[in-house]
Structure 1
Amino acid sequence: MIKNIIFDFGDIFINLDKVKFAEEIQKLGIPQYQDEVIQILHKYEMGLVSTDYFLSHFHETYHIDKEALVTAWNSILLDFPKKRFDFLKDLMLSNKYRLFLLSNTNDLHISWIKKNWGLELYNDFKNCFEQFYLSHEIHFRKPNADIYEFVLTKNQLKVHETFFIDDTKENTDAASKLGIHVWNLNPKNEDVTELFLKHNLN
């Protein structure tokens, strides 16, 4: 029986435009697939370097205007459909499951969300979860096994009682290897509100 549900954030609750994001970053001349770039992106996502360092690095290395980078960086973020928030609130109020959020999210993105949503909505969303884990705050990132182990250990969760939802197959594969039940949600034709239509959590 499932007692714990761990949710990703992007393309599970808030919609993302990953294609536009890649295009905007490319326009700035950032070689997205270069090892050195990937390393700095991962460090930023894990909160190992500050936003100031992150922006300064690309400004000094690639002569990119900092404001232009912030705009491009946040272009991935879209809307938060009300039906998903309603689903989450109903799930929280049912008291049937322990709910957790586990997201690879950086400081610039969460700052945009707080400003775009407003703090009242952001805090109402955050309060639906027993724990709200953002990669840049806990210094781990998916799909590394240590991030799942951190959540399991910190909250004394049993893997066979835990269900994880993420739109990235690499992330659900990593969780599955630890024995966690998973749903690799495809945002093109699936929605988190369909959870109980698609999966029997008993």
Structure 2
Amino acid sequence: MIKNIIFDFGDVFINLDKQIVYREMQRLGGSTQMTPELLELNNLYEVGQISTDQFLEGLSIVYPHASEIEIKEVWNGMLLDFPDERLEFVEAMAKKSEYRLFLLSNTNALHIEHVEQKMGHEKFNRFRNSFEKFYLSHEINLRKPNEDIYRFVLDQNELKAEETFFIDDTKENTDAASNMGIKCWNLLVGQENLLDLNSRL
């Protein structure tokens, strides 16, 4: 029996344009390929091991023709709209109190600041307050799909894996959670909708 639901954020609640970084690389003087350096920079930033200033400094090497403002615009440009129906859906779930609800997102300080500005403080707080715990990778210094992040959430909240359901748009993440006995939904972006969750439980 499912008692707990863990939600990803990007492309589950908020729509993303993950390809913008690749599209803008060449225009801003970088390689058209995701380099190991850029991947490592992103991973370090997502777990809070480097500051925003250090991250932007690293990106200025990746994008030698870009100003700091342009870099921020590209980086935050992947964050699109947050449909009201998804917010209302999770708020309704929280109000029913049928399940314990958690958010678990690989994100960074720049992105979450931009999301709050874009949504507005009141709406962002409505979203955040729908969850018992709101776990962001850069705050807890862990990231998906590493097993320790799932173990952290389970242990911190005394959750049983077999009673927990996890929704994420990245198969690597759901595969890792599934290997630990967590029931998962690898949501297919553009084909499936969070609002169909009840039929999955």
Matched-pair contact (CA < 8 Å) for 2:30–2:62: no
The Cα shift of 1:24 comes to 2.2
Give deviations 1:36-86, integer Å, cap 9, x for gaps. 221111000111101011111222565332111100001101101111111
**Match of residue 13 from structure 1:** 13
- Aligned in 2, Cα 1:25/1:106: closer, same or farther, shift over 3 Å? farther
1:91 and 1:121 mapped to 2: Cα distance? 16
- Tell whether the 8 Å contact from 1:25 to 1:73 is kept in structure 2 after alignment: no
Please tell me the residue identity of whatever aligns with 2:45: Y
What is the alpha-carbon distance in structure 1 between the residues aligned to residue 156 and residue 11 of structure 2?
A: 26
Q: Give the equivalent residue in structure 2 for 1:22.
A: 22
Please tell me whether the aligned partners of residues 169 and 187 of structure 2 are also in contact (alpha carbons under 8 angstroms): yes
List alignment gaps of at least 5 residues for structure 1: none
Question: 1:38 is matched with which residue?
Answer: 39
User: Alpha-carbon deviation of 1:114?
Assistant: 1.0
For 2:25 and 2:134, the matched residues in 1 are separated by 28
1:108 matched to which residue of 2? Answer: 110
Alignment of 1:142 onto 2:144: yes
Q: Per the alignment, do residues 119 and 135 of structure 1 end up closer, same or farther by CA in structure 2, a change over 3 Å counting?
A: same
Structure 1 window deviating more from structure 2 (32-41 vs 175-184): it is 32-41
**Could you tell me which residue of structure 1 aligns to residue 134 of structure 2?**
132
Secondary structure at the counterpart of residue 102 of structure 1: strand
SS of alignment partner, residue 141 of structure 1: coil
SS in 2 for 1:121: helix
Displacement of 1:18? 1.4
Bigger fraction of residues in helix? 1
Contact 2:102 2:132 in 1 (8 A): yes
Identity value in percent: 53
Structure 2 CA distance for aligned equivalents of residues 19 and 40 of structure 1: 17
Would the aligned equivalents of 2:2 and 2:164 in 1 still touch at CA under 8 Å?
yes
Per-residue CA distance 1:137-160 (angstroms, 9 max, x = gap): 100011111110110111110000
Whole-angstrom CA distance in 1 between matches of 2:21 and 2:63: 18
| Partner SS for 1:71 | helix
Q: 1:26 to 1:134 in 2, by over 3 A?
A: farther
One-letter code of the match for 2:59? F
What is the aligned partner in structure 2 of residue 165 from structure 1?
167
SS of equivalent to 1:142 = coil
Paired residue for 2:93, among 91, 94, 110?
Answer: 91
Q: Check 1:29–1:178 CA distance in 2 against 1; reply closer, same or farther (3 A cut).
A: farther
**Equivalent position of 1:51 in the other structure:** 52
- Secondary structure of 1:22's partner? helix
- AA in 1 matched with 2:152: F
